Structure 1
Amino acid sequence: MAAPSPLLQTVTTTPTDYWNDSCSVEELTYAIGHGAVGATTNPTIVLNVLTKEMHLWEDRIRTIIAEHPTWSEAEVTWKLIEEMAAHGAGLLRPVWEREGGLKGRLSIQTNPMFYRNCEAIVAQARHFATLAPNMQVKIPVTQAGVMAIEEATYHGVNINATVSFSVPQALAVAEAVERGLNRRAAEGKDVSHMRPVCTIMIGRADDWMKVLAARDGIDIEPAYLDWAGIAIFKNAYRIWQARGYRTRLLAAAYRHLGHWAELIGGDVVLTIPYEWQLKINASDIPVVERMQNPVDPKIVDALYTKIPDFRRAYDPDGMTVAEFDGYGATVRTLRTFIAAVHDLMGVIREFMLPNPDVKQGL
């Protein structure tokens, strides 16, 4: 009998869970086979999945367009996103049932263009929560998003806070969720099956530090920059343990194997892209608890001393909620997600208005 894969060892021998960072049928099936108990999506992921699995969706796209003759390409696009997410949730339904509704959820992301509009985020979040019983809804950690997280939680939505890179953002999410859960409980509403998570996009935190180092000519050991997201995540986890928040931390945006190995053993979720799952399962890195191992103080001190935006992300009071929208990693990620929505609409446009300059197939 073959030895269990490193990912399966991670989830069976430690409190750490892992999710598939995609709603792709092929990728999610592989992940579930290696112990995954959830999945996440965002506009970029959906675009990539649609590109790879168009043969599974092109007939449905044509049907949606035909059934709704007055819909815009935006409306068709979001209907498709909903159906792709619901399909992924169906694949996870057995996990959800096995775990008594405590795991096995599929995260669908609210429209990133709503990042300034609390009411629009909440309305879409509440709608998305109805798409399947095991749906989780991603809300960006912007100023409006923090307000939306509390309100959506109050309305019974299991949230996944996203577009988050820092301890201050994670703390704002945890406090907002607590307020929402307490409001529900005060009215006698059930909170026993709510399992909110807060993402810290550790790879995108690294990316931003690397951009700053290059842009501003910061003299720092390049290898240290790969530890920025891990240091931020571990600092947030330390605070979580002390305060007992009901939100679980989730690590996303993988860039190297340390983004898995260094977080093993924490009561956290790791949402891992398919290509990184393959790399992890092919690695010979021992599956041992490392979450409690602090990042080398020399590395943290260099990052903290030389990069002001690392300090803002690492310190619990490094940013106010009002500053979240302007943080560099937030801006870069929102721009990426919004661009992906436009690209998705471009794909739908080719179905609705095929380019007449190109000969179409018979």
Structure 2
Amino acid sequence: MSGNSNLQALTDAGVAIWLDDLSRQRINSGNLAELIANHNLVGVTSNPTIFAGAMSDARDYQEQISELAARGASVDQAVRELTTKDIRDAADVFREVHRATDGEDGRISIEVDPRLAHDTEGTVSEALELAKAVDRPNMFVKIPATVEGLPAITRTLAEGVSVNVTLIFSVQRYREVMEAFISGLEQARDNGHDISQIFSVASFFVSRVDSEIDKRLKAIDAPEHLYGKAAIANARLAYAAYEEVFAGERWQPLERAGARRQRPLWASTGVKNPEYSDTRYVDELVAPHTVNTMPESTLYAVADHGNIVGDTVRGTAAASQEVFDSLSAAGIDLDDVYAVLEREGVEKFEKSWNELLQTVSQQLEQAR
């Protein structure tokens, strides 16, 4: 429980507050524990960009890098051991949160190698290896919601491994993700797993949608009232789809067997346009049974001046659809927007992964 009224209001409204950042320095300094104690933090996500930034400063990693260099570890092996140690240690910090929330929160996410985003078999193999390497009950393996990622999501869940599905941009793809999730639980049940212990979130990206569509609106000199509306409307329509799917007949037998719903997670909630309120992707996306994973700066902004007034999502589907009807009428090719965002998302993580490999390679050489 937090002394901050805004963060407590979010928690009370059913929003789990997660941090979109992780580093060994944050763990070792006690900062992560402080955020849990005083800022209602109940989870953390990581990605290749976050790890690339964390390991560019080698001080907190030097001892392990020296040990890896001494035994001749390859760059790929070193990256695996460095990142999984951070995930294990962070998972241990969240152990009590995980217990107190009956496994729902206290979660740490680690992403499969982004170079496997279009490789179903490679993704499944990597996901299962990561689960074994981390070996913590409160970890998620992150799998991208590419076409090739969808069957990998199902197969990983079928093995009893909890999954954070990432890089979701469209409501249609989100529906396919929920289908993959339900199929995975059905297979896990048939495989003899306790499905009450399998968890999942679906990371629906927010601010990047506004950035891409606003850019296109500007290019066609569209009316000002269309700017900055798409991302929130998109997420609200996704929540409507979530409510529909998990009220459906196919889900009911799984829920009676103890299955937990796959929660929508609002990702990319740091505001990229300085003309917009820095808390808009939190204030406007408050709904029960959701997660908002935010950068530290957004977390502090919400604590300081967020406008948390309760549920701002349910009952907004019709108005949200009108936003997209207006965008289509203005000439925005929404299918192309989503395709571009997915491709750029994968490319960004691949670039960060390569930067991470290069950084660790240099640090290994220096240690040798």
TM-score (norm 2): 0.84
- Give a deviation string over 1:133-181, Cα, whole Å, max 9, x none: 2110100111110010000010111111111111111111100110110
Contact 1:108 1:135 in 2 (8 A): yes
Contact 2:22 2:45 in 1 (8 A): yes
Contact 2:10 2:308 in 1 (8 A): no
1:302 aligned partner: 326
1:144 aligned partner: 148
AA aligned to 1:257 is: T
Structure 2: runs of 5 or more not aligned: 252-260, 272-277
Q: Which moved more, 1:102-111 or 1:343-352?
A: 343-352
3-state secondary structure, aligned to 1:143: coil
Percent identity (aligned): 25
Q: 2:91 aligns with which of 86, 89, 92?
A: 89
1:281 aligned partner: 303
2:264 aligned partner: 249
Q: Which moved more, 1:282-291 or 1:250-259?
A: 282-291
Q: Which moved more, 1:135-144 or 1:275-284?
A: 275-284
Change (3 A) 1:177 1:298: closer
CA distance in 2, matches of 1:198, 1:329: 16
**1:6 correspondence with 2:6:** yes
Q: 1:50 aligns with which of 48, 55, 70?
A: 55
Q: 1:39 aligns with which of 39, 44, 55?
A: 44
Q: 2:191 aligns with which of 187, 209, 228?
A: 187
1:348 aligned partner: 360
CA distance in 2, matches of 1:77, 1:208: 32
Change (3 A) 1:184 1:284: closer
CA distance in 2, matches of 1:113, 1:62: 27
TM-superposed CA distance for 1:19, in Å, is 0.9
**1:16 correspondence with 2:31:** no
How many residue pairs end up in the alignment? 337
CA distance in 2, matches of 1:222, 1:43: 35
Structure 1: runs of 5 or more not aligned: 314-323, 356-362
3-state secondary structure, aligned to 1:116: coil
Contact 1:174 1:247 in 2 (8 A): yes
AA aligned to 1:206 is: D
TM-superposed CA distance for 1:211, in Å, is 3.8
CA distance in 2, matches of 1:311, 1:117: 23
Q: 1:232 aligns with which of 231, 234, 244?
A: 234
Q: 1:111 aligns with which of 104, 113, 122?
A: 113
AA aligned to 1:50 is: M
